[in-house]
Amino acid sequence: MTALTLYFHPLSSYCQKVLIALDELGIDADKRLLNLGDPAERAAFLALWPSGKIPLLTDQGRPVPETSIMIEHLQRHHAAVGRRLIPADEDQALQVRLWDRLFDNYVMTPMQAFTADLLRDESDRDPIAVALARQGLLWAYAMVDQQLQGRHWVVGDAFSLADCAAAPALFYAQTYVPIAPAHERLLAYVERLLQRPSVARTLAEARPYFRFYPGRQGLARRFYDPGEDGGPSA
Delimiting residues of CATH 1.20.1050.10 domain(s) in the chain: 90-206
Read off the pLDDT of each residue in 204-216 and give the average, rounded to a whole number.
Answer: 96
pLDDT digits (tens, 9 = 90+) for 168-200: 999 999 999 999 999 999 999 999 999 999 999
Q: Report, at the CATH architecture level, how domain 4-78 is classified.
A: 3-Layer(aba) Sandwich (3.40)
161 closest CA partner among 61, 62, 41, 70? 70
Percent of all residues in the chain with a pLDDT value above 70, rounded to a whole number: 97
Read off the pLDDT of each residue in 42-50 and give the average, rounded to a whole number.
Answer: 94
pLDDT of residue 36: 87
CATH fold for domain 90-206: Glutathione S-transferase Yfyf (Class Pi); Chain A, domain 2 (1.20.1050)
Give the integer Cα–Cα distance in Å for 197 and 36: 29
- Is 8 within 8 Å of 19 (Cβ atoms)? yes
Give the integer Cα–Cα distance in Å for 74 and 55: 14
pLDDT of residue 227: 77
Give the integer Cα–Cα distance in Å for 177 and 31: 31
Residue 29's SS3 state is: coil
pLDDT digits (tens, 9 = 90+) for 83-130: 999 999 999 999 999 999 999 999 999 999 999 999 999 999 999 999
Delimiting residues of CATH 3.40.30.10 domain(s) in the chain: 4-78
77 closest CA partner among 53, 86, 9? 86
Give the ranges where 51-152 is alpha helix by DSSP (H). 67-78, 90-103, 109-119, 127-147
Instruction: Please enumerate in sequence order all residues whose Cβ is within 8 A of that of 135, keeping only pairs 6 or more positions apart, or say none.
Output: none
127 preceded by a cis bond (ω within 30 of 0): no
Give the integer Cα–Cα distance in Å for 108 and 103: 6
